[in-house]
Each structure stands twice: as structure tokens, then as C-alpha cells.
Amino acid sequence: MTQDKSASERMEKIVSLCKRRGFIMQSSEIYGGLNGCWDYGPLGTELKRNLKDFWWRRMVRERDDIVGMDGSILMNRQVWVASGHEATFSDPMVDCRSCKSRLRADQLPEKDGKLHCPVCGSFDLTEARAFNLMFKTYVGATEDESAITYLRPETAQAIFVQFKNVLEVSRKKVPFGIAQIGKAFRNEINPRNFTFRSREFEQMELEYFCRPEDGVELLEYWLKERLKFYEDVGISSDLLHVYKIPPEERAHYSQGTYDIEFHFPFGVQELEGVAYRTDYDLSQHQKASGKSLEYFDEETGQHFVPHVVEPSAGVDRTVLALICAGFCEETITDQKGKAETRTVLKFHPRMAPIKCGIFPLLKNNERLVGPAREIVESLRPHMMVFYDESGAIGRRYRRQDEVGTPFGVTVDFDTIGENGPSNQGTVTIRERDSMKQVRVPIGELKSFLVDRIN
């Protein structure tokens, strides 16, 4: 099998697992869907929440120099004029005169040295023109020019325009950062690769404000921090690639940008950009609003517009990377010597949607079911657990393997002292990846699990 074929088959299996087990579903599916929009089901929502919570913990709660904010999605149109998005946030597009497809001008295939339509093959294409990626909308009852604004295409601008307010209320000194997680919208011409390029997605962005002379060094610092973050959520460095954007490809105001890329089955693609944006954004807003966005340095008595280093990550792309990195099919031999395929999502326990499955060995035995249910209730305040009493125990393990649950606790006859007193009050804990089991007293179960999922 060629590499391309096996990669696309792997991707198909991942998409199918996501739907089958309630990670990610097509938006508005019963009406035929809406291209570029996705819904997260029960397990996908937990996975996404775990990722966002951990990002927040790392970027805000565990640091003294970063605070959070939560800006509105709709903002004054002037924000997008000043940021440059209204004039330049666009892709070059051409129309095919034969089949009427609208196509990205920079992604057209070539035949005999001439660009052609990938849908019908025609060479009859219009000239390229800019197509703005922002979703336009109207605020209020009148749909005229004065009511126009846009759904935000990035969360960053809310941080820039609130920079002064947050600085004052948080009483921070540079270097300091403002972090935000939230929805962003882009009318992508060609949404593709499952959730990778969506029209509605979430970003996790940090704007880290600093003195101009510290920008270059802080860019390197943030690249390292962010790479460590991916390791800490279970994405190994072998699956990551850092692309240093050459000067001619960078935005004109950037003095350095790295893309952190991931080896998706469909290719090596961007997960996050880490960019040194100089004082561009704050200066633009200062100029356009007429309000000072300068920082006063008490130590030196200087006034200056801070420079910014921005690590900007996609939530949905990272969720997809976690699923792709974790997806694994193993051939194992069951107790009867029969080979079978075990599908496992090898999530890091801190990312796993369900932390622990809890199983009474038999479902119709109240002496087993009672303690199992008590364990569920005792663990619930501390983690997401799942109780399952139906089917053979091996099958119950497999169901949890497939959704990435790192631990399975079984209440058996030893637990209730039926095989003698030595194991009474203990349960087995099965570890997902090694499939090894250990016995642990029920009283130690919570700390055993909490230690491993945080």
C-alpha cells in the first residue's frame, strides 16, 4: 500500500471513530450539514475542555506575569479597519467561467504551463481578485453601511484594544501578557481536512507585551514554552516540526515568526504561530483611535508603545492533533489465542475525556454493583468517570480503549472478600496502554488516579 493511501485510510478511520464515538460530528447534519462547521459531541467536548483548561492553567494560573480576558466577538468596525483586516485579510480568488466554481488563485493546478480549473479542467478563468475572509454582519435594525461589522477573525484584536484597561486594573509591569480563548470566524474558501480548516473555530492566544529590546529573545523563549506545552499534553516532539518563516514570507511588521507544525495524516500542517509583531498593532490602534496606548516605565521614566510576542494556537487543530497522535490499531491475542485488533486512543491522561471506567465484574450481582456505584460517586467530584456494567469485561475495556480512557477499575469477587480476606476492599486498576493490572485499596483509589491525571 502506498504511503498516501495508508495515510488517507488512517484519516478516514479517525473521522469515522470521531463520529461513531461522539467526538466530532458534522454541524446541522440532518439538513445536509454546513461546510466548514463542526459540532463536538460529549467526548469531544470533554477533550476540548481539558485542552483549554490546561492551556489556561499553564499560561495564566501558573504564572505571575499573565492575566486573562474574555472579549466580545462583535466589535466596533473601526477595530478591523485599524488592524488592516478590512483592507487586506483576503485570499486571491478566480472564477471558472465554464463550471462557475470559485477557486483559490494560489492553489490552481497547472497543465502545459497554464493554470486550469481542478473541477472541470477548463482554462477559461477570470482574473484573480481579493475575497475578504471576514463574515460581514449588521448591528441593529438597519442594514446600511453604518451598521456593518464583522465576526472576529482572530481573538487578538480584543486584547490590543483593551490593553490599557487591563494594564491598569491588573497593575502589571512589562513584560506581561494577556491571554484569551475564544471563537474566531473566517469565511475560508476551501474548508478541508476535517476540522483542520474550518469556518468557525477557537483560538488560544497570548499577547505578551515587552520592551522593544527584549522582543527577539522573547520570541525564542515563547517558542520553547509552547513546544514544551505540546509535550505536556502528550504530543511527542517527533510529531512536531518548527518552520521558521523566511523574511520575504512574513507579515511586513513581523520581526520573526515560527510555525509549530504537526505531522497530520494529510501532511505537515500548522498548529500554532509564534510571532514577534513589534509595536504594529498597538501603534495602529493608537493612531486610529487617537487614544494613547503607551506604557510608562517608572524605572526609566520613559513612555513607549510596547512590543508584542504572540503565540497563537488553534483549539480545534490541537484537538485533531491529539486524536491523530493518539490513534493506534494494535493486534493482540485474546485469552482463547485468537488475534484481534485493538483500537486505542492513547491520550495523555490529563487530556483524556474520561479518566476512569468503573466496572462491576457482573451486572446482576448487587454485592458487586453496590461498591462499584459507591466508587463512581466518590470519584465524580474529582474527575470524569464512566460506569459500565454491560457485556464481558474484555469488551468493556475495549470500548474505553477506543475513546482513550487511561484507567479501568474493576470490582470483583476479591473486592468483596469472597476469595479470602487478603484482597478484600481492593480493586484492580487496568492501565490502558500496557493493559497491566494492579490491585489498589479502594481508599487509595482517588489519590492513585488524581496523581496521574493532573
Q: Which positions lie near ligand GAP, rule CB under 6 A?
A: 154, 156, 186, 188, 197-198, 201, 203, 205, 270-273, 312-314, 316-317
Could you tell me the smallest distance in angstroms from the CB atom of residue 240 to ligand GAP?
13
User: Which amino acid, one-letter code, is at 365?
Assistant: N
Which residue's CB is nearer to ligand GAP, number 181 or number 449? 181
Residue with Cβ nearer ligand GAP (52 or 342): 52
Q: Which is nearer to ligand GAP, 254 or 286 (CB)?
A: 254
* Smallest separation (angstroms) from ligand GAP to the CB of 203: 5
| Complex with ligand GAP: residue 190 or 437, whichever CB lies closer | 190
Indicate the residue among 241 and 446 with the shorter CB distance to ligand GAP: 241
Nearest distance in Å: CB 205, ligand GAP? 6
User: Rounded to whole angstroms, how far apart are CA atoms 383 and 300?
Assistant: 49
Residue 271 vs 358, nearer CB to ligand GAP: 271
Residue type, 437: Q
Give 225 or 270: the residue with its C-beta nearer to ligand GAP.
270
Nearer to ligand GAP, 46 or 200 (CB): 200
Q: What HEC string does the chain produce?
A: CCHHHHHHHHHHHHHHHHHHCCCEEECCHHHCCCCCCEEECHHHHHHHHHHHHHHHHHHHHCCCCEEECCCCCECCHHHHHHHCHHHHCEEEEEEECCCCCEEEHHHCCEECCEECCCCCCCCCECCCEEEECCCEEECCCCCCHHHEEEECCCCHHHHHHCHHHHHHHHCCCCCEEEEEEEEEECCCCCCECCCCECCEEEEEEEEEEECHHHHHHHHHHHHHHHHHHHHHCCCCHHHEEEEECCHHHCCCCCCCEEEEEEEECCEEEEEEEEEEEECHHHHHHHHHHCCCCCEEECCCCEEECCEEEEEEEEHHHHHHHHHHHHEEEEEEECCCCCEEEEEEECCCCCCCCCCEEEEECCCCCHHHHHHHHHHHHHHCCCCCEEECCCCCHHHHHHHHHHCCCCEEEEECCCCCCCCCCCCCCEEEEEECCCCCEEEEEHHHHHHHHHHHHC
Is 311 or 406 the residue whose CB approaches ligand GAP more closely? 311
Residue whose CB is less far from ligand GAP, 193 or 365: 193
Closer to ligand GAP at the Cβ: 277 or 430?
Answer: 277
Query: CB of 332 within 8 A of CB of 342?
Result: yes
Strand arrangement of the beta sheet that strand 66-68 belongs to: 66-68, 176-185, 200-210, 307-314, 267-278, 257-264, 240-244
Q: Judge whether 284 and 307 are in contact, CB under 8 Å.
A: no
In the complex, least distance from residue 79 CB atom to ligand GAP, rounded to whole angstroms: 13
CB of 196 to ligand GAP, least distance (A): 6
Count of residues making up the chain: 454
- Taking the complex as a whole, how short is the minimal distance between the CB of residue 388 and ligand GAP, in angstroms? 34
Q: What is the smallest separation between the CB atom of 202 and ligand GAP, expressed in angstroms?
A: 8
Ranked by CB distance to ligand GAP, the top (closest) residue is 314
Which residue from 267, 353, 272 is spatially nearest to 49, judged by alpha carbons? Answer: 353
